[in-house]
Copies of this chain bind each other. A is one copy, B any other.
């Protein structure tokens, strides 16, 4: 195995001390511009890359961010995950950070143990958290341990932390109004597990929307599901075989909506006219659904990147101007709610 160049090799080749080389490369101000240029050039030519282990040992940092992907019931779709992970990795890599990923069943002891192990062994400098619960153990734990982290969506736990929130209340409410303007009056909602933040946000928006449009809320029109397409399929089947079925179904996410589309097809309902269906996520292939899916699009990749940059800021002690970022999703109107004139 060929040994990579060390900082010593670079220093020797220039007749400089390793101290100077180190500082030139790290951008310290107390080094002359001409020297810095020579150093950077030589380092590049020799293919010098600082040894991570040595740097970590000395700096007492791991240059690594952790992401424990929640699996099990109510998982995210593959395209959500891969976009999210791509965003995390790209932002981390650009800042010379690694991303340590593992998956663990959400809420199970396995998950807790992993967090605890990574924290107690200083395995990572910070965390990104996804799929937040209304009361979230992870958030309380990390805050208490004073470990930097940023989360996608917020819990109700009374602690301060960095987060990105996708506005849902108003957006879903507007979605209801949009459907009401199509003279739809029997609008149903298929949600997720009640402990999820996103469920609460979105169902609240649904209720506001109904109220705003003077539509009564029928308890039979609210179904809890599990964010999967098969869950959505089952839920829709139940809704559609009622004596007075809905003429619109708002789904908590795109996956659920996929299942609804299948159920609608089975029930010979004409999606777009007979029955409007909407999702939430804007996952890549929602446009290829049959028919294409109206959805509230959230920029997953961008969100992931920003979460990493927020954690990095926390790690570096930079004070964030905004700790609670709010993003508005984009309504993408497609055929699943589009009444084609007869």
Contact = CB atoms under 8 A, between A and B. Distances in A.
A256 B147 CA distance: 43
Contacts of A100: 98-100
B121 A49 contact: yes
Given A53-B57, A262-B262, A89 B102 contact: yes
A117 B131 CA distance: 31
A103 interface: yes
Interface stretch (A73-81, A136-144, A272-280, A308-316): A73-81
Given A53-B54, A75-B82, A230-B285, 6 more contacts: A4-B122, A52-B62, A69-B85, A99-B102, A262-B265, A265-B266
20 contacts: A1-B146, A47-B120, A52-B62, A52-B121, A53-B56, A57-B57, A69-B82, A69-B85, A75-B82, A77-B78, A78-B78, A85-B102, A85-B103, A89-B103, A99-B100, A99-B101, A99-B102, A101-B101, A262-B265, A265-B266
Count this chain's copies in the assembly.
2
A288 B82 contact: no
Q: Which range contains the number of A residues in contact with the other chain? A: 35 or more
Contacts of A122: 4
A270 interface: no
A17 interface: no
A248 B102 CA distance: 39
A71 B56 contact: no
A50 to B, nearest CB: 9
A313 to B, nearest CB: 18
Interface in A257-310: 262, 265-266, 285, 288-290
B103 A82 contact: yes
